Amino acid sequence: MPLTASWKPLSLAPSASQALTRSSQALIAYGGKAYIFGGELKPRTPVDGALHTLDLQSGALQSVEVSAGEGPAPVPRVGAALARVGEALYLWGGRGGKEMKPLEGDLWKYALGGGGKWERLETTGDNPEERSFHVLTGIEPHTLYLHAGCPASGRLSTLHALDLRTLTWRSLAPAPGPARGGTVLASLPSVGRAGSLVRFGGFAGYELGGPLDVYDIASDAWESVQPAGEAPAPRSVHALLGVPPTQTKDGTELVAVMFGGERDPAPAELGHDGAGFFHSDVWGLKRTAGGDWSWEKAVAKDGNGQPQARGWFAADVVEKTGEVVVQGGLNEKNERIGDAWVLRVEEA
């Protein structure tokens, strides 16, 4: 049976949609809510420094921004990354300030249910180079993985891990080239002795596609594989998220879901001031018990419509259900978007 993609739009008040209109933001879904931080409404101009909390049932929005003198808080930024471990959010990187340079490699912690306060954490060890448009992935019970991105010049393929018990960074095996920004790193706890991270796509001056790069956490080693089936087209600034493994009738498990992204960049003369062309497709990444990978394009299911093609959006998976939350982004008209959708991928 084919995989199907079912979309459900969240009903947002006009004021909430206006407040969430942005691209290049970060999002974490947890506890029935989506936490959204950063992004831009105008190119190279951070839209705000608030942490927005969107209720995934009602569509209600709450926004908290720490005013000067009320305590420490991260400055507004673009192209930052959020991750969650336990009951806390962690924010790292991005671009900000008058010159929109990569910000110092400060790590910020936001304790969920902790009274709406940010805490700046001092880290040691092999501190990563400052960057934006990177990936930050949280792995229970106490590790953050930081990969790729754009420093002051060029792009990176490095991988770092932060032990949240000691706040110590260590360098890990770098990923296969080319170095890239705007990529993804999906967590697959069921693959490998200690779990795996998988990567597809990104931008290296051009849009990247396969192979699928698989990082085995236990052995600190990468392997590049060519999954069976039709291959997704190259893309960047997209979403690839691990989902709770679901057995399918062909004997494989659905382990990750991919959506959207940029298929062609903006014209060179416009750069970040322009918009490229985007995908609106949905893909399932599947794996057999013997370790064979395959892609399958999901068929859109009739119902509530589907989101417009986009890139530079924010997305995360709801762990308990495997649904994917998609918010905002940039469309082909060079317009920032303020909507929010919930995606479910399953067999027909």
pLDDT digits 0-9 by tens, 105-156: 899 999 998 777 899 999 999 999 999 999 999 999 999 999 999 999 999 9
- CA 307, CA 241: separation in Å to the nearest integer? 18
- CA 180, CA 237: separation in Å to the nearest integer? 11
pLDDT at 1 exceeding the cut of 80: no
- Alpha-carbon torsion (303, 309, 314, 315), positive or negative: positive
Predicted local confidence at residue 69, as pLDDT: 60
Phi, psi dihedrals of residue 271, rounded to the nearest 5° = 55, -135
Distance, first Cα to last Cα, the chain: 6
pLDDT at 65 exceeding the cut of 90: no
Write the DSSP symbol of residue 236: B
pLDDT tens per residue, range 179-222: 999 999 999 999 999 999 999 999 999 999 999 999 999 999 99
Predicted local confidence at residue 163, as pLDDT: 98
Cβ neighbours, 10 Å, residue 30? 16
Do you find a cis peptide bond into 43, omega within 30 degrees of 0? no
- CA 129, CA 151: separation in Å to the nearest integer? 7
Predicted local confidence at residue 348, as pLDDT: 85
Q: 168: which strand partners?
A: 124, 163
- Residue 161's pLDDT band, with cuts at 50, 70 and 90, is very high
- CA 158, CA 173: separation in Å to the nearest integer? 7
- Residue 66's pLDDT band, with cuts at 50, 70 and 90, is confident
Least confident of 6-15, 88-97, 259-268, 308-317: 259-268
CA neighbor of 77 nearest in space, from 27, 131, 25, 119:
25
CA neighbor of 82 nearest in space, from 19, 29, 127:
29
pLDDT tens per residue, range 223-273: 999 999 999 999 999 999 999 999 999 999 999 999 999 999 877 666 666
- CA 242, CA 188: separation in Å to the nearest integer? 6
pLDDT tens per residue, range 274-330: 678 999 999 999 999 999 999 999 999 877 789 999 999 999 999 999 999 999 999
Predicted local confidence at residue 185, as pLDDT: 98
- CA 137, CA 192: separation in Å to the nearest integer? 17
Predicted local confidence at residue 271, as pLDDT: 66
Measured CA to CA in angstroms, residue 246 lies from 229, 259, 287, 296 at distances of 19, 18, 10, 14
